[in-house]
């Protein structure tokens, strides 16, 4: 008699699709998961995933951070010794958390039943997967989820083209919903961890995201870059983010969730401020510095804002450098706590993107480069609730040289002589350096986009790694350009990842540039 | 207690033929020495439908023979001479007296003592005494079922003290086989090895199975490193399954035992979830065990179904005996100490001299040789007291026992206390046609502070890595200090690293405890329907409740606990219910052919219930208040209802044993299982057959005198193995943090098939010189196919893994047992035995396109255990240094070796290639001495402990290298120049550490040791109250004759499939000394 066998072989702690139908959890579960995964904290609890997804690569390669922890005796990604086990998480999160969730919404019929909600899902997919392609280059995209094995990769150019088409579809749906009278049978704000159910803000984010992605292509494909940027900025599209109220930041709410960056800094003490951003901000006497960083707590030198040089930790103890400046969650008026929203895109960044568009004389920038540049700075100061003072008119302050109070071998001259005050007469390179440098300070602590922009523009000028353990694969001066494909792809999808290396056009290592990183 | 009838008529019939005929009619087997029968002469007999007993009485009435019936075995032995009439002695014979005991000193009643070549003889009485007439040149023959026959020349000694050694190799030995059925050993078609209960109690271990280590050919026992009460990994004939269990099945009195494991570490970090609370076998009282027989191959196990695929360990427990009441008391104390210490350097101090740098790459120091280890490790103790009462009448037999075990581990606060209560009653009803038996076992066990291996919550990391020359005593004296800002005591430790804490803080302020209550009930009813058929019904319930707690106090390192501490609580109950119905039949077809067999069915149902709570990183509201209501919030990832893991197995099975003239035995079995774990798959059930053939050469043909017995056997079997619960139907979503749900990352496996092991074995047994020398050799080959493998998927599929059925894992090997009675006719007696086994494991294939599969990985320690085609189970992959074409290590411009990035590479295999055990028993008068030397040869193991100690500069090697001016290497610098010396610090900080160039830390696993020594003395008591008294001194793991690895390679961090052959701060193995007293009243 085996009539109960199916019941026995059913996990009593599992949840089924049927269970999730009530209260539209079959929609909310996946939409919120996608939101929490662009920068991944969807697992709750320990932010192991985020640490490898972004923190121990892009966050440090962008000059924002450095780990005091001598992982693997200092031979790790931060000294260009590419750890096999560290290079797959960005990829994994993209597919298992973002694309699988969005796919589930499609399976559940959200695309046809609630096109505006589906539009939000598509925007999240583009926001998330653009980070994946920017990290590796070619990725599986059009064929993702199509079988158990043998998932083909798309070239990065094809992936970007798809992004733009998906954004087209999403913004069209959103404009139609906003202009129409359709209502949803559920309260969308319950499932919206960003804009509290405001579809107009999602539309503005979508346009801002298009602008950001367009700008990524300016070196390789300036025509597409200009076309997409002008489209993003075209008022008929619904506008871009202009105020801090429109910032794309995912709320950290619900038991078990925490801001993963703050968690790593505070609970694990595994991440500290990087030397590059410290030198720029101390050099500029930037009013945001006291909000971003706390002062050093190492007893061997006086308390001060002091970052760590990337690639300088080669063995020894974590205690050697753990007392250097941390992300500020304690000092004075800290900007960060375990429940701080996870920031993905700000109004300030959009102003700087528009400033660049203006410098390039593209249509629809909406104002002069100088005014957009200054508005970018002002909006950021406002975001962090500090007084801008005479910052924008400071024509003398320059980034500091770096001194390491514990090891002078890490000392380095100032990375750049760029000042703050806008100079309309300067050549385009100086203008670009100024815009990107200030954008970089404003975007803190979102390292993924900062690393992408550094690779695209060469700005801000960042300190190179002190120790380069890449065995000659990555140039210390040119700095790291991408992460190698995950080992798991070679183990499970070998034929396709080998084709992807052909698409990449060069060896699969950190020294190879992705498609948009190469001037044609 | 038997009532079969027999019909025999004939004149001048040979006893041999009569016995054969009785055997065929009744199914009873005869055990006898053929020489006795040759001298006995023919018999006239005319019995029709007479009771068996009457027939035996009749045909032996005028013979110098007596019989004894034990279960279904009839033992024929020489009768005590009643009168010395037949032979007129030329010289008056002297009266010889004596006592016969077993090796444990227990008196043996009813032993036959015969004067060789005569009909004179006697039987020993209750106290083992005998008395008979013999001359000084005559030889006395002592024989008793289950013991080796012994011959002693009388000589001038008229008062003999004789010890009989138990034998599992004697002709006519009874072996317990599948489903609890006893069969004579010569009829078995596969390899078995029987161990008497004495071997388990000789030198006790808190986990009784560890006392079998080295005594059974083909059995590999790896004790876990988790202190007193920890589990052991018992593998017979090699690992077979990747995801499923590889552990042997334990069967108690015919009923399979629930052998669910408590959680085992599966990562190098270990951590609070990875405690080992002991396996169910470890809970049993060794004094309750009569004997253990090990059925090594799949043939033996065919009747146990999937559970038996990895071999079966059959345990027969003691019961009451009719007509004898006996009280046994046993008390033993064992002291244990660490058997070796890691080696430290004493010449160089802390980096920076003082402060928070935890490494020892500092200046030269003097007086750095403080023995930190002795300040931490202590002498472990194990005190066991047990009492048993047995007795009964022909109708009712009773057995009662109680045992108390109280053990302290070698680490502070590690403690086990266990109580075992056992009550067994057997009754015979309805003219002895109905036998009822019930057995109740109740076990309580508490284990405090199970040592957790790995980096986290392990006191040994802080202890070993502590800077040389620095003062550790201050942290022992004051493991906590007041934090005035918090008004609570916090940890006193100078280093801030996730991998280490103050060792005394961990044992006092991160304590764990596991409390187990176990109830094991067995009942059976057996009814004799007809002389050729009986029907038996059995049921059993085995209910194990475990409550685990860990209290992590405020002040614990931040990586492991938030500011206010963590409380971990789980309560799990595993309930196994088993029932079977058996029909035993016995059909004599004709004079020469007999068929016996079984038809039956069984149901086994295992379910786990429980819940777990872990405050995790969300933490507690009030510091150090360890209550669930003190959780700040509830995270479903850490807390909630546990999976039931409900599995039910329904089976029907049958076996037939066909024999021809005691020459040829043919075994056939068939079984079909229905498993609930196969629900939702196309194959709901699986069938497997076995066949075995046995030829007794010594009965088929006349062999030379020197050969007492010869047998060849062969068998073929197929055993299925059910997949795990839910593999075919994983939950679509599970609860995740903050009211969210995470999606299953494994593709549902809807075409899942059961695993199948095919086994082939050939064996032969030979005995020479009147059984003085015996040799038993077996070759086997098993192939396990349709493995359920969890294969990593490309994440672009939206999954992390999927399951396939594939693969072919082959184990083949040879087992051999040789025994020899070196001295048996002298006062000093000595017998010796060798167990040899070798096993070769090969992964022949996995699946098309898939050539490797990860068993257990440890991100962050550069260790991974993998399955790869062409490799074998237990292959270790690690990271290595870069070398040039000439094999020279590449050294970078900075003078450091360069490590190879990319995927991990094969660096060795942990499996033992072959094992040899040498067991010896000596006796002289009232003294007995036994010792066991065993060796495990081949294999390689990894020590992350060593790589950490090297990186921290505390190891002896790191000091020696500094003294020598650097590490001598065969290296090459970037410009191609040879490098012969690398700075010690640069070398060890690059290759060492938790993410070491682990390929540099592989060691030869060969170990040869003096495993066990036992010295016994039987106190000659002349007292009616105390019948026997015996003292024994024992030692275990006394000496390593050969050991190259920095740890005992036999120890394992996990008794599950992973983490084998890697040492990550496992506590050292122990050496123990014990004193045991046994008294019988």
Sign, CA torsion B194/B200/B202/B203: positive
Q: How many CB pairs under 8 A join A and B?
A: 245
Question: Which region among A289-298, B206-215, B768-777 has the lowest average model confidence (pLDDT)?
Answer: B206-215
> Which pLDDT band holds residue B84 (cuts at 50, 70, 90)?
very low
Q: Which residue has the higher pLDDT, A199 or B998?
A: A199
- Please say whether the beta carbons of B648 and A4 come within 8 A: yes
Tokens read off for B222: 């790896």
A485 reaches B (C-beta below 8 A): no
Q: State which residues of chain A have pLDDT below 70.
A: 44-45
Select from A14, A103, A316, A510 the residue whose CB has the most chain B CBs within 10 Å, as the one to mutate to test that interface.
A14
> Residue B993: which region, alpha, beta or left (left: phi > 0; alpha: psi -120 to 50)?
left
Q: What residue in B sits closest to A31 (Cα-Cα)? A: B740
A contact residues 13-32, partner B, Cβ 8 Å cutoff: 13-17, 19-20, 25, 29, 32
List CB contacts (< 8 A) between B564 and chain A: none
Residue A463 has a pLDDT of 97
CB count, 10 Å around CB of B400? 17
Give per-residue pLDDT as tens, B286-331: 888 888 888 887 666 667 777 777 888 888 888 877 766 888 899 9
Q: What residue in B sits closest to A5 (Cα-Cα)? A: B676
Query: Please, which residues have CB within 8 angstroms of residue A337's CB and are 6 or more apart in sequence?
Result: A259, A262, A329
Nearest to A364 by CA among A231, A494, A515: A231
Give per-residue pLDDT as tens, B654-673: 988 898 887 888 989 898 98
Q: Which residue has the higher pLDDT, A374 or B905?
A: A374
Give per-residue pLDDT as tens, B783-816: 988 877 777 888 999 988 888 887 888 989 999 9
How far does chain A reach from its first CA to its final CA, in angstroms?
A: 71
List strand residue ranges (DSSP E) for B793-926, in order: 801-823, 828-845, 852-858, 863-868, 875-878, 889-890, 905-909, 914-924
B983 reaches A (C-beta below 8 A): no
Query: Does the distance separating the beta carbons of B736 and A2 come in below 8 Å?
Result: no
Q: What residue in A sits closest to B727 (Cα-Cα)? A: A9
> Residue B229: which region, alpha, beta or left (left: phi > 0; alpha: psi -120 to 50)?
left
B800 reaches A (C-beta below 8 A): yes
Sign, CA torsion B207/B209/B215/B220: negative
Nearest to A195 by CA among A31, A308, A349, A358: A31
> Which pLDDT band holds residue B45 (cuts at 50, 70, 90)?
confident
Q: Is B562 helix (H, G, I), strand (E, B) or coil?
A: coil
> Which pLDDT band holds residue B85 (cuts at 50, 70, 90)?
very low
> Considering CB atoms only, which of A15, A84, A91 is closest to B734?
A15
pLDDT at B111 over 50: yes
> Considering CB atoms only, which of B618, B736, B793 is closest to A148?
B793
In which element (H, E) is residue B541 found? strand B533-552
Q: Does the residue A376 lie in any domain?
A: yes
What is the spatial distance between Cα B1004 and Cα B337, in angstroms, rounded to a whole number? Answer: 24
The radius of gyration of chain B from alpha carbons, rounded to an integer in Å, stands at 32
A contact residues 300-329, partner B, Cβ 8 Å cutoff: 315-320, 322
> Which pLDDT band holds residue B169 (cuts at 50, 70, 90)?
very low
Residue A116 has a pLDDT of 96
Query: Does the distance separating the beta carbons of B644 and A104 come in below 8 Å?
Result: no
Summarize the confidence of residues B95-103 as an average pLDDT.
81
Residue B203 has a pLDDT of 65
Task: For chain B, give the longest Cα–Cα distance.
Answer: 105
A151 reaches B (C-beta below 8 A): yes
Give per-residue pLDDT as tens, B506-528: 999 999 999 999 999 999 999 99
Give per-residue pLDDT as tens, B379-419: 999 999 999 998 888 788 899 999 999 999 999 999 999 99
Tell me the backbone φ, ψ of residue B72, rounded to 5 degrees.
Answer: -110, 25
- Please say whether the beta carbons of B1048 and B339 come within 8 A: yes
What is the spatial distance between Cα A309 and Cα A410, in angstroms, rounded to a whole number? Answer: 7
> Which pLDDT band holds residue B104 (cuts at 50, 70, 90)?
low
B contact residues 525-584, partner A, Cβ 8 Å cutoff: 558-559, 562
Residue B155 has a pLDDT of 77
What is the spatial distance between Cα B834 and Cα B816, in angstroms, rounded to a whole number? Answer: 8
| Nearest CA-CA distance, residue A150 and chain B, Å | 8
Nearest to B47 by CA among B90, B13, B84, B88: B13
> Considering CB atoms only, which of B642, B680, B745 is closest to A6?
B680
Q: Does the residue A7 lie in any domain?
A: no
> Considering CB atoms only, which of B559, B633, B648 is closest to A255?
B633
Name the residue range of residue A403's domain.
Answer: 17-338+349-517
Cα B812 versus chain centre, distance = 21
Residue B753 has a pLDDT of 81
pLDDT at B989 over 90: no
- Please say whether the beta carbons of B208 and B313 come within 8 A: no
List CB contacts (< 8 A) between B676 and chain A: 2, 4-5, 8-9
> Which pLDDT band holds residue B168 (cuts at 50, 70, 90)?
very low
Query: Please, which residues have CB within 8 angstroms of residue A371's CB and are 6 or more apart in sequence?
Result: none
Four-point Cα dihedral A453, A459, A462, A464, nearest 10: 80
- Please say whether the beta carbons of A293 and A325 come within 8 A: yes
> Which pLDDT band holds residue B89 (cuts at 50, 70, 90)?
very low
Pairing label, strands B192-196, B289-295: antiparallel
pLDDT at B984 over 90: yes
- Number of separate domains in chain A: 1
CA–CA distance from A189 to each of A21, A31, A52, A195, B380 (Å)? 18, 12, 31, 8, 62
Following DSSP, what letter does each residue of B982-1021 receive, concatenated?
Answer: E-HHHHHHHH-STT--GGGGEEE--EEEEEEEEEEEEE--
pLDDT at B184 over 70: no
Tokens read off for A180: 């129409």
Q: Does the residue A436 lie in any domain?
A: yes
List CB contacts (< 8 A) between B643 and chain A: 11-13
Residue B82 has a pLDDT of 43
Q: Does the residue A343 lie in any domain?
A: no
What is the spatial distance between Cα B163 and Cα B924, in angstroms, rounded to a whole number? Answer: 9
> Which pLDDT band holds residue B536 (cuts at 50, 70, 90)?
very high
pLDDT at B258 over 50: yes
Q: What residue in A sits closest to B559 (Cα-Cα)? A: A268
pLDDT at B196 over 80: no
A477 reaches B (C-beta below 8 A): no
Give per-residue pLDDT as tens, B118-143: 767 777 877 788 888 787 778 888 87
List CB contacts (< 8 A) between A139 and chain B: 796
Residue B222 has a pLDDT of 77
Residue B103 has a pLDDT of 67
A1 reaches B (C-beta below 8 A): yes
Residue B178 has a pLDDT of 59
Sign, CA torsion A493/A499/A502/A504: negative
Sign, CA torsion A31/A493/B746/A257: negative
Q: Does the residue A305 lie in any domain?
A: yes
Query: Does the distance separating the beta carbons of A5 and B679 come in below 8 Å?
Result: yes
ipTM of predicted complex: 0.91
CB count, 10 Å around CB of B321? 15
Cα B340 versus chain centre, distance = 24
Pairing label, strands B326-338, B312-317: unpaired
Residue B265 has a pLDDT of 67
Residue B75 has a pLDDT of 73
Sign, CA torsion A180/A172/A40/A463: negative
> Considering CB atoms only, which of A15, A71, A267 is closest to B735?
A15
| Nearest CA-CA distance, residue B741 and chain A, Å | 6
Residue B81 has a pLDDT of 47
Tokens read off for B280: 């169910």
Q: Does the residue A419 lie in any domain?
A: yes
Summarize the confidence of residues B461-475 as an average pLDDT.
91
Four-point Cα dihedral B355, B359, B362, B365, nearest 10: 90
List CB contacts (< 8 A) between B800 and chain A: 92, 96
Nearest to A350 by CA among A499, A244, A236, A198: A244
B423 reaches A (C-beta below 8 A): no
> Considering CB atoms only, which of A2, A83, A493 is closest to B794?
A493
List CB contacts (< 8 A) between A108 and chain B: none
A contact residues 187-226, partner B, Cβ 8 Å cutoff: none
Nearest to A74 by CA among A460, A400, A512, A410: A410
Residue B6 has a pLDDT of 80
Residue B605 has a pLDDT of 93
Query: Does the distance separating the beta carbons of A492 and B635 come in below 8 Å?
Result: no
Tokens read off for B167: 């034998």
Give per-residue pLDDT as tens, B853-876: 776 554 556 778 777 888 888 888
> Which pLDDT band holds residue B888 (cuts at 50, 70, 90)?
very high
> Considering CB atoms only, which of A145, A253, A488 is closest to B798?
A145
What is the spatial distance between Cα B120 and Cα B134, in angstroms, rounded to a whole number? Answer: 8
> Considering CB atoms only, which of A81, A319, A489 is closest to B901?
A81
A413 reaches B (C-beta below 8 A): no
Residue B1038 has a pLDDT of 92
List CB contacts (< 8 A) between A32 and chain B: 740
pLDDT at B627 over 90: yes
In which element (H, E) is residue B456 found? none
Domains, chain B: 1-78 (3.55.50.30), 80-164 (2.60.40.1120), 197-874+910-952+993-1080 (2.40.170.20)
CA–CA distance from B1004 to each of A132, A481, B148, B343 (Å)? 44, 43, 40, 17
| Average pLDDT value over all residues in chain B | 83
Residue B161 has a pLDDT of 80
pLDDT at B86 over 70: no
Following DSSP, what letter does each residue of A422-449 receive, concatenated?
Answer: --TTS-HHHHHHHHHHHHHHHHTT-HHH
Task: For chain A, give the longest Cα–Cα distance.
Answer: 88
Residue B369 has a pLDDT of 66
- Please say whether the beta carbons of B798 and B742 come within 8 A: no
How far does chain B reach from its first CA to its final CA, in angstroms?
A: 27
> Considering CB atoms only, which of A95, A256, A490 is closest to B618?
A256
What is the spatial distance between Cα B1065 and Cα B414, in angstroms, rounded to a whole number? Answer: 16
Most confident of B6-15, B149-158, B457-466: B457-466
Cα B851 versus chain centre, distance = 32
Residue B998 has a pLDDT of 86
Nearest to B26 by CA among B60, B9, B2: B2
Tokens read off for B695: 């030829």
Nearest to B795 by CA among A113, A465, A361, A136: A136
Looking up residue A472, the CATH number of its domain turns out to be 1.25.40.390
> Which pLDDT band holds residue B272 (cuts at 50, 70, 90)?
low
Select from B795, B850, B985, B997 the residue whose CB has the most chain A CBs within 10 Å, as the one to mutate to test that interface.
B795
């Amino acid at each position: 008699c085996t009539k109960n066998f199916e019941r026995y072989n059913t996990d009593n702690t599992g949840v089924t699709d049927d269970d999730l139908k009530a209260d539209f959890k079959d929609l909310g579960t996946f939409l919120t998961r996608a939101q929490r995964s662009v920068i991944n904290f969807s697992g709750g609890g320990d932010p192991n995933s985020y640490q490898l997804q972004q923190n121990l690569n892009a966050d440090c390669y962008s000059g924002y951070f450095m780990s005091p922890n001598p992982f693997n005796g200092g031979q790790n990604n931060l000294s260009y010794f590419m750890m096999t086990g560290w290079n797959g998480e960005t990829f994994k999160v993209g597919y298992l958390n973002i694309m699988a969730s969005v796919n589930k919404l499609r399976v559940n019929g959200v695309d046809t039943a609630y096109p505006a909600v589906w539009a939000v899902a598509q925007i999240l997919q583009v926001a998330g997967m653009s980070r994946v392609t920017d990290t590796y280059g070619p990725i599986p995209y059009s064929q993702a989820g199509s079988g158990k094995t043998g998932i083909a990769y798309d070239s990065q150019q094809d992936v970007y083209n798809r992004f733009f088409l998906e954004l087209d579809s999403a913004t069209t749906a959103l404009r139609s919903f906003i202009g129409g009278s359709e209502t949803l049978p559920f309260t969308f704000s319950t499932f919206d961890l960003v804009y509290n159910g405001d579809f107009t803000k999602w539309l503005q984010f979508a346009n801002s995201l298009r602008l950001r992605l367009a700008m990524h292509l300016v070196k390789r494909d300036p025509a597409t870059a200009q076309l997409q940027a002008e489209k993003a900025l075209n008022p008929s599209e619904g506008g871009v983010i202009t105020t801090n109220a429109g910032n794309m930041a995912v709320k950290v709410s619900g038991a078990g969730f925490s801001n993963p960056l703050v968690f790593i800094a505070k609970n694990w003490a595994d991440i500290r401020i990087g030397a590059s951003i410290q030198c720029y901000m101390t050099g500029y006497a930037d009013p945001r510095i006291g909000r971003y960083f706390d002062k050093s707590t190492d007893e061997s030198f006086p308390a001060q804002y002091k970052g760590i040089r990337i690639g300088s930790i080669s063995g020894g103890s974590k205690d050697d450098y753990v007392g250097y400046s941390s992300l500020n969650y304690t000092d004075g008026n800290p900007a960060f706590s375990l429940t701080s929203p996870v920031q993905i895109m700000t109004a300030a960044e959009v102003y700087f993107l528009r400033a660049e568009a203006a410098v390039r004389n593209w249509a629809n920038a909406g104002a002069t480069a100088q005014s957009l540049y200054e508005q970018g700075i002002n909006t950021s100061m406002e975001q962090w609730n500090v007084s801008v003072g005479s910052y924008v008119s400071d024509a003398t302050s320059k980034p500091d040289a770096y001194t390491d109070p514990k090891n002078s071998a890490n000392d380095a001259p100032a990375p750049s002589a760029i000042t703050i005050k806008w100079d309309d007469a300067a050549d385009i390179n100086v203008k670009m350096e100024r815009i990107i440098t200030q954008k970089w300070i404003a975007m803190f602590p979102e390292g993924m986009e900062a690393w992408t922009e550094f690779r695209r523009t060469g700005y801000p000028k960042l300190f190179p790694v002190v120790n380069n353990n890449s065995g000659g694969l990555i140039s210390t001066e040119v700095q790291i350009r991408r992460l190698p494909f995950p080992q798991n792809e070679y183990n499970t999808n070998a034929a396709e990842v080998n084709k992807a290396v052909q698409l990449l056009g060069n060896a699969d290592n950190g020294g190879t540039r992705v498609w948009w990183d190469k001037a044609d | 207690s038997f009532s079969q009838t027999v019909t025999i008529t004939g004149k001048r019939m040979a006893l041999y033929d009569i016995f054969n005929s009785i055997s065929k009619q009744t199914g009873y087997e005869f055990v006898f020495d053929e020489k006795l029968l040759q001298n006995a002469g023919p018999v006239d007999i005319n019995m029709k439908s007479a009771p068996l007993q009457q027939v035996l009485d009749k045909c032996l009435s005028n013979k110098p023979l007596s019989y004894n019936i034990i279960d279904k075995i009839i033992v024929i032995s020489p009768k005590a001479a009643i009168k010395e009439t037949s032979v007129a002695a030329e010289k008056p014979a002297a009266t010889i007296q004596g006592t016969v005991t077993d090796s444990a000193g227990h008196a043996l009643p009813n032993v036959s003592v015969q004067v060789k070549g005569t009909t004179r003889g006697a039987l020993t009485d209750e106290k083992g005494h005998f008395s008979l007439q013999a001359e000084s040149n005559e030889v006395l023959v002592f024989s008793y079922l289950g013991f080796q026959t012994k011959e002693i020349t009388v000589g001038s000694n008229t008062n003999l003290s004789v010890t009989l050694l138990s034998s599992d190799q004697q002709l006519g030995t009874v072996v317990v086989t599948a489903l609890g059925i006893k069969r004579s050993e010569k009829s078995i078609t596969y390899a078995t090895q029987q161990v008497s209960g004495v071997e388990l109690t000789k030198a006790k271990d808190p986990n009784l199975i560890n006392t079998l280590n080295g005594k059974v050919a083909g059995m590999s026992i790896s004790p876990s490193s988790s202190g007193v009460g920890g589990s052991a990994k018992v593998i017979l004939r090699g690992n077979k399954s990747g995801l499923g269990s590889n552990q042997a099945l334990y069967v108690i009195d015919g009923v399979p035992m629930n052998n669910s494991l408590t959680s085992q570490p599966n990562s190098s970090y270990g951590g609070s979830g990875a405690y080992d609370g002991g396996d169910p076998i470890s809970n049993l009282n060794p004094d309750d065990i009569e004997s253990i027989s090990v059925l090594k191959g799949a043939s033996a196990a065919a009747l146990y179904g999937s559970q038996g695929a990895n071999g079966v360990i059959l345990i027969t427990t003691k019961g009451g005996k009719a007509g004898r009441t006996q009280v046994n008391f046993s008390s033993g104390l064992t002291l244990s100490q660490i058997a070796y210490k890691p080696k430290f350097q004493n010449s160089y101090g802390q980096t920076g001299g003082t402060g928070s740098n935890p490494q020892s790459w500092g200046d030269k120091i003097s007086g750095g040789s403080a023995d930190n280890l002795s300040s931490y490790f202590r002498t472990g103790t194990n005190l066991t007291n047990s009492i048993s009462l047995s007795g009964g009448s022909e109708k009712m037999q009773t057995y009662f026992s109680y045992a108390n075990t109280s053990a302290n581990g070698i680490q502070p606060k590690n403690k086990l206390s266990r109580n075992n209560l056992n009550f067994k009653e057997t009754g015979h009803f309805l003219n002895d046609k109905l036998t009822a038996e019930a057995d109740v076992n109740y076990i309580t066990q508490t284990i405090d502070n199970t040592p957790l291996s790995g980096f986290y919550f392990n006191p040994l990391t802080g202890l070993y890595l502590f800077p040389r020359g620095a003062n550790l005593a201050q942290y022992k004296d004051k493991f906590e200090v007041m934090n005035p800002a918090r008004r609570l005591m916090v940890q006193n430790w100078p280093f801030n690293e996730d991998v280490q804490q103050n060792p005394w803080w961990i044992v006092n302020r991160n304590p764990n405890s596991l409390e187990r209550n176990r109830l094991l009930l067995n009942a059976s009813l057996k009814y004799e329907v007809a002389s050729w058929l009986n029907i038996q019904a059995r049921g059993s319930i085995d209910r194990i409740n475990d409550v685990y707690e860990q209290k992590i106090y405020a002040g614990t390192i931040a990586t492991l606990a938030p500011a206010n501490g963590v409380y971990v609580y789980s309560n799990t109950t595993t309930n196994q219910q088993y029932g079977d119905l058996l029909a035993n039949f016995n059909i004599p077809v004709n004079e020469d052919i007999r068929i016996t067999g079984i038809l039956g069915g069984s149901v086994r149902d295992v379910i786990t219930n429980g819940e777990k709570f872990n405050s995790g990183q969300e933490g507690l509201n009030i510091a150090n208040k360890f209550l669930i209501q003190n959780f700040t919030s509830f995270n479903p990832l850490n807390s909630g209802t546990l999976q039931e893991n409900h599995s039910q197995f329904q089976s029907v099975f049958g076996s037939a044993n066909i024999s021809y003239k005691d020459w040829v035995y043919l075994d056939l079995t068939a079984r079909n299982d229905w498993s609930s774990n196969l629900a939702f798959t196309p194959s709901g059930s699986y069938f497997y057959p076995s066949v075995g053939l046995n030829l007794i050469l010594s009965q088929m043909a006349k062999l030379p005198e020197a050969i007492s017995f010869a047998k060849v056997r062969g068998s073929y079997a197929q055993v299925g193995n059910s997949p795990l619960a839910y593999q075919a139907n994983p939950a679509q979503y599970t609860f995740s943090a903050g009211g969210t749900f995470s999606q299953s990352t494994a593709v549902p496996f809807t075409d899942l098939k059961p695993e199948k092991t095919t086994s082939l074995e050939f064996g032969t047994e030979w005995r020479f010189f009147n059984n003085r020398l015996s040799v038993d050799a077996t070759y086997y080959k098993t192939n396990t196919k349709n493995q359920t493998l969890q294969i990593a998927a490309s994440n672009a599929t939206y999954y992390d893994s999927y399951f396939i059925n594939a693969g072919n894992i082959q184990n083949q090997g040879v087992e051999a047992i040789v025994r020899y009675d070196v001295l048996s006719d002298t006062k000093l007696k000595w017998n010796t035995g060798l167990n040899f086994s070798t096993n070769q494991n090969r992964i022949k294939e996995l699946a098309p396109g898939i050539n490797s599969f990860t068993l257990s990985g440890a991100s962050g320690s550069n260790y991974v255990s993998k399955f790869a085609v062409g490799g074998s189970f237990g292959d270790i992959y690690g990271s290595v240094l870069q070398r040039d074409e000439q094999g020279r290590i590449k050294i970078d411009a900075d003078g450091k070796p360069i490590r190879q990035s990319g995927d991990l590479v094969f660096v060795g295999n942990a499996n033992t290639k072959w094992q040899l055990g040498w067991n010896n028993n000596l006796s002289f008068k009232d003294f007995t001495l036994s010792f066991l030397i065993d060796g495990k040869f081949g294999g390689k193991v990894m020590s992350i402990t060593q790589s950490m100690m090297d990186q921290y500069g505390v190891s002896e090697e790191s000091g020696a290298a500094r003294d020598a001016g650097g590490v001598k290497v065969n290296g090459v610098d970037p410009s191609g120049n040879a490098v012969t010396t690398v700075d010690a610090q640069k070398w060890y900080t690059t290759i060492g550490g938790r993410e070491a160039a682990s390929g540099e830390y592989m060691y030869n696993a060969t170990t040869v040791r003096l495993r066990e020594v036992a010295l016994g003395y039987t106190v000659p008591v002349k007292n009616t109250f105390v019948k026997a008294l015996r003292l024994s001194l024992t030692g275990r793991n006394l000496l390593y004759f050969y050991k190259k690895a920095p740890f005992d390679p036999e120890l394992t961090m996990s008794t599950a499939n992973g983490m084998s052959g890697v040492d990550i701060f496992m506590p050292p193995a122990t050496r123990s000394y014990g004193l045991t007293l046994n008294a019988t009243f």
